[in-house]
């Protein structure tokens, strides 16, 4: 673990305080997993009801920052099971371009500008994550089945994607 007096720790303390005291982030709550470790945050994302697929869900996640933050990205892993989202792996890890290391994509899918850069912050990560609940990305999925069913639903073939999303929401609320 990095020193709590490191530049990364000082930056994270300031960013956490800004999120906790700011009013610009409705539906986002952050705190430390352990008061002695600024590098590990617990996050709650409360998705508003107007979200087509995941509206009303409350999803817990953990954001872990490396000692080299802000030069390298944190990871974001959902603690609340979300077994059905195109951009979330089965183990809960979020797949989003801004959390990929700041280097050229070896497969040529992402540009360097789409990947992590030190101008990103926990706030931009969390806002991008909320955006993925509103508009899942089916182009480079972490969950291929979810992406396929989303595409099929958009084509009007069925409502299976929406049905499975609603099940995730109910589970996030402890209803299933």
The encoded tokens of residue 147 equal: 């992406």
Q: Which residues contact 52 (CB under 8 A, 6 or more apart)?
A: 134, 162
Classified as helix, coil or strand, 131 is: helix
CA distances from 108 to 36, 103, 112, 114 (A): 40, 11, 10, 12
16, 8 Cβ separation under 8 angstroms: no
Classified as helix, coil or strand, 41 is: strand
Q: Which residues are designated catalytic?
A: 95
DSSP label at residue 1: -
Distance between the two ends of the chain, CA-based, in angstroms? 37
38, 12 Cβ separation under 8 angstroms: yes
Q: What's the rounded Cα separation, in Å, for the pair 1 and 49?
A: 38
């Amino acid at each position: 673990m990095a020193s709590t007096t490191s530049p990364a720790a000082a930056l994270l303390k300031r960013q956490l305080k800004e999120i906790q005291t700011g009013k610009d982030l409705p539906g986002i709550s952050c705190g430390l997993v352990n008061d002695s470790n600024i590098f590990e945050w617990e996050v709650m994302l409360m998705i508003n009801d107007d979200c087509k697929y995941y509206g009303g869900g409350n999803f817990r996640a953990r954001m872990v920052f490396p000692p080299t933050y802000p030069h390298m990205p944190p990871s974001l892993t959902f603690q609340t099971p979300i077994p059905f989202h195109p951009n979330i792996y089965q183990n809960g890890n979020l797949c989003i371009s801004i959390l990929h290391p700041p280097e050229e994509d070896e497969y040529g899918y992402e540009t360097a500008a789409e990947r992590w850069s030190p101008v990103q912050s926990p706030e931009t990560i969390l806002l991008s994550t909320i955006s993925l609940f509103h508009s899942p990305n089916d182009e480079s999925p972490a969950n291929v089945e979810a992406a396929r069913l989303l595409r099929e639903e958009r084509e009007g073939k069925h409502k299976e994607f929406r049905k499975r999303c609603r099940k995730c929401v109910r589970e996030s609320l402890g209803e299933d």
